[in-house]
Amino acid sequence: MLVPTVTADAIAINSLYSITLFLAVVVFIIVQGLIIYAAVKFKRKHADEIPYQDHGNMKLELFWTVVPAFIVIMLFFLSANTLAQLSGTGTTASPINNVHKVGDENARRRIEEAKRTDVVIEVDGRQWFWQYKYIKEGVRHSSQDNGELIIPEGKTVRLDLQSRDVLHAWWVPSFGGNLYVNPGEMSYVWIDRPPKGYYIGQCNAYCGLQHAQMLSRVKVVSQVEYDTWVKLKKAEQGGVATENGDAQRGAQIYVDGGYKYADAIAKGDKNTGLQAQEIADLSAYINSLK
Amino acid sequence: MASISIPVEKRKSALVDWLTTVDHKKIGIVYMGLSFFFFIFSGLLALAIRTQLAAPGMKIINQEFYNQAFTMHGTGMIFLFTIPFLVGGFGNYFMPIQVGARDMAFPKMNAFSLWLYVFAGLMMEGGFILSIIANATGWGDLGLGSNASWNAYVPYSTRAFSPQAGVDVWLIGIALNGISGTLGAVNILVTAYSLRAPGMSVWRLPMFTWALLTTAVMVLLATPVLTAGLIMLTTDRNFSTQFFTTADPRMWQHVFWFYSHPAVYIMVLPAMGVISEILPVFARKPIFGLKALMISTALIALLGFTTWAHHMFVSGVNPVVQRFFMFTTMLIAVPTGVKIFNWIFTLWGGSLNMKTPLLMSIGFISTFTIGGITGVFLGMIPIDQQLHNSYFVVSHFHYVLFGGSVFGIFGGLFYWLPKVYGRMLNEKLGTIQFWLMMIGFNLTFFPQYILGLLGMPRRTATYIPDRGWDLYNLLSSIGAFTIAFAVLIFIINFVIYIVARKGEVAGDDPWEGNSLEWMTPSPPPEYNFKTIPTVHSERPLWDLRHPELADSGKHH
Ligand code: HEM
Ligand SMILES: [Cu+2]
Ligand SMILES: [Cu+2]
């Protein structure tokens, strides 16, 4: 794959892909080589040339039946093996379906036991944006107006996806794998300990007019930044932001891009355009938030 | 010997004659002409798509039109061009002659299939074209276009999310077209079963006929399922039935792909048949491993019915079931590979006459192989989970459908049009067209593999810069215009050398063909053969030319 692969899932898919690509290139070179060689070598030399009337060759034909059969069966087992390594897929003997009907408690339990998870985010797919609800943290967010899904680095995040209208699909290529999001069903995607960074994905099931604009921008931040962002977001959504001056400034920080300032503040960075006193006030304010 | 009713020359106007004909050859010609028109139309839509995607953030066509454009491009190419051209066009014209028949078994039903296809095509495209005109002239939106995408996934395609009448017109059009195709398949099967020349046993059937028969079986088993599904979806939309609206969200997907995976083979097997005719003729050698080729065709058709859910690896299908479909999908690569090697070894050691039909056939083998190899990637569940719905898939199926079917169709046109019109196409223009197509095709679609690996999803009307996609999209768009130019050269070639009759006179057998169509005059008379020939081998005409090397003399 030609995108950076940053999670264990993406890396596993990528190594399977690389093996397959290697075999594909070998087959490609053999076949194209034979075609080009034959086309150049066996051009008709004179008009009444009659070549040997060869009807076939059992041994050769058996060879190019058996060898490819062997290769594809090998690829089948490699794939099954890789599948079992991916997050939340269970084992080959007892695989887990990462999609189930809403309200199917047994299936839900299997998913919860399938993989240890640090952060759970409910994601609603809608024409044409994603809505994020952080369960433990109690904050809401959305992909509208370039909104980003903020997650902490090095933690395992589970997205519990549901569609509120038509089919959508969650796909952030660097995390590996995509999955349809269906109305009336839960779909589960894991983001396994991603490193810090900025990743763009996009809805990958045609969903109508603005399907092309249904982006999923993901920002993986440090734990401190994440906590700060959550606090600010919570303050804003809880109405704390309007109670005093600091809070108003806090809300403003959020409006200005929230976590970006939070990031700067957490690191004590002076290049934010804020005065030292302001930073101190804001830090105090953020620290005062629960 | 069948009795012939030699037609009495009643003076009918040419138009009435074409509208009322039941002659399989005339019907074949109308199929070819009309479906070629739909090829051009759907191709122009592809150019609109590629223009819009040439650079990020373009606003050349609006988003709604983009969505209709790829929907109509896809359904036009599949239902109105590739299948009717190969099965209705080549199939109708050449299969009866190849088996030594005077017409199809049911000539009137054949005419009915044709006109039902015409009507269905007008329904599918008519609303869309009216919508464009209405928009252009400022009447506003008639809502007669469909933007449901070619696989019309539920629930987007239901009334709740796509209320416009255009979707209904389009669905009914596709359903009627399916009925036309199904009747055509019955006709083909009965003809080949009951009207073969004496001596034409199964193993002596020409490869094109064999491929067409296999295709007809697939059409017969698969198409009614789609037709039924389309009608159910239409009643869901209009009469409040709930076949799909309240069903499992994957129900429509199963019905759709149960048809649409076999449809891939319906589109490509006849084209494989075409090149299996061309290769031995232009190599002056028998086809390598005739039986293996015929059996692999049948195996592909059989396995083709067991792989449909590989399109649903990210839809939430039960994982055990998914593994079953992964296995069948991997297996189908084997008979496909057998074909590729048998074709190459038909060339091997031959005396290759490098004319356009052979060039197109070699192009077919080369590009189709790439499509086949990338199909193996997509058959592997973990890789498909990453690449599903990406441009990798778009590239993969164009390598199969354009690199396979379209190259096969052009090969067939250069090979057979001299038979149909009695004149040869120009070789120089043909060679130029081939190279432009080959370069243009790879330039259009190879970068799309890279785009898919870079994470670009299909069916997106535009994209943002800075994702590393710009260059590959630009290359792809340049390639698309190169292909268009190659097709233009073909049209010029056809107009000058065939329509204006500037081409060399073809004679009965310009290529030293093997099968029975080369025994008849070019164009063949209405009754095809004065006396039905008796067949002694798989290459009856070769035997006539080379009695000393005749196939019929030896056992293999
Ligand atoms: C003339 C050369 C062609 C070009 C440049 C071309 C280009 C394209 C492109 C760029 C798309 C993707 C649109 C999108 O996902 O947004 C597309 C989709 C498609 N094309 Fe082509 N195409 C060509 C010929 C063909 C042929 C010959 C066939 C079939 C025999 C075909 C069948 C399809 C189908 C089925 C789709 C999917 C439509 C959908 O997603 O609903 N195309 N084509
Ligand atoms: Cu979408
Ligand atoms: Cu398929």
Tell me: pLDDT of A282 over 90: no
H helix or E strand, kind and range, residue A132? strand A129-134
Q: Do A196 and A153 contact (CB within 8 A), yes or no?
A: yes
Question: Exposed/middle/buried for A122, CB within 10 Å: 0-12, 13-18, 19+?
Answer: middle
Most confident of the following: A266-270, B12-16, B73-77: B73-77
Pocket of ligand 1 (CB under 6 A): B 43, 46, 49-50, 70-71, 73-74, 77-78, 82, 149-150, 394, 398, 401-402, 405-406, 444, 458-459, 480, 483
Instruction: Determine the Cα–Cα distance for residues B99 and B25; give it in Å rounded to an integer.
Output: 14
Structural domains of chain B, with CATH: 20-544 (1.20.210.10)
Count the neighbouring beta carbons within 10 Å of the beta carbon of residue A280: 13
Range A99-238 has CATH code 3.30.460.10: no
Q: Ligand 1, atom 5: nearest CA belongs to which residue?
A: B480
| A227-236, A263-272, B137-146, B184-193, range with the lowest pLDDT | A263-272
Q: Do B280 and B287 contact (CB within 8 A), yes or no?
A: yes
Instruction: Determine the Cα–Cα distance for residues B498 and B491; give it in Å rounded to an integer.
Output: 10
Radius of gyration for the alpha carbons in chain B, expressed in angstroms and rounded: 23
Q: Do A159 and A121 contact (CB within 8 A), yes or no?
A: yes
- At A206 the pLDDT is 97
Taking only residues 42 to 71 of chain A, the set having a beta carbon closer than 8 angstroms to any beta carbon of chain B reads 42-45, 49-57, 60-61, 64-65, 68-69
Q: Encode pLDDT of B399-437 as tens digits.
A: 999 999 999 999 999 999 999 999 999 999 999 999 999
Q: Does residue B107 have a cis bond before it (omega within 30 degrees)?
A: no
Tokens of A155: 């933690």
Q: How far is CA A97 from CA A165, A185, A186, B153, B312, in A?
A: 22, 12, 10, 21, 13
Q: What confidence tier does A276 reach under pLDDT thresholds 50, 70, 90?
A: low
Mean pLDDT confidence for B310-327: 96
**Can you list the alpha helix ranges (DSSP code H) found in B54-164?**
63-75, 83, 92-98, 107-136
Instruction: Determine the Cα–Cα distance for residues B316 and B336; give it in Å rounded to an integer.
Output: 29
Rounded mean pLDDT of chain B?
94
Q: How far is CA A125 from CA A47, A182, B153, B247, B441, in A?
A: 67, 9, 16, 20, 36
Tell me: pLDDT of B1 over 80: no
Name residue B380's amino acid: M
- Could you tell me which residues come within 8 angstroms of residue B549 by beta carbon, excluding any fewer than 6 positions away? A50, A53, B542
Output the CA torsion sign for B351, B355, B359, B362: negative
Q: Does residue B518 have a cis bond before it (omega within 30 degrees)?
A: no
Q: Which residues of B touch A73 (CB under 8 A)?
A: 330
Mean pLDDT confidence for A74-90: 94
DSSP secondary structure letter of residue B505: B
CA A167 – ligand 2 centroid, Å: 7
The bound ligand whose nearest atom lies closest to the alpha carbon of A212 is 2
User: Domain-by-domain residue ranges, chain A?
Assistant: 8-43+57-85, 99-238, 242-290
Q: Encode pLDDT of B157-188 as tens digits.
A: 999 999 999 999 999 999 999 999 999 999 99
HSE-CB for A34 with a 13 A CA cutoff: 18
- At A275 the pLDDT is 60
Given the DSSP bridges, would you call strands A185-192 and A178-181 parallel, antiparallel or unpaired? Answer: unpaired
Tokens 């149909």: give the residue: B420
Instruction: Determine the Cα–Cα distance for residues A282 and A98; give it in Å rounded to an integer.
Output: 42
Q: Encode pLDDT of A188-246 as tens digits.
A: 999 999 999 999 999 999 999 999 999 999 999 888 888 888 887 777 776 554 444 45
Count the neighbouring beta carbons within 10 Å of the beta carbon of residue A182: 26
Q: Ligand 1, atom 34: nearest CA belongs to which residue?
A: B74
pTM above 0.90, yes or no: yes
Closest residue by Cα to residue B360 from B267, B434, B426, B297: B434
Q: Do B285 and A54 contact (CB within 8 A), yes or no?
A: yes
Q: Does residue B262 have a cis bond before it (omega within 30 degrees)?
A: no
Q: Encode pLDDT of B442-485 as tens digits.
A: 999 999 999 999 999 999 999 999 999 999 999 999 999 999 99
Which of B61, B278, B300, B351 should be substituted to probe chain A, the one whose Cβ sees the most A Cβ atoms within 10 Å?
Answer: B351
CA A204 – ligand 1 centroid, Å: 17
Instruction: Determine the Cα–Cα distance for residues B463 and B469; give it in Å rounded to an integer.
Output: 9
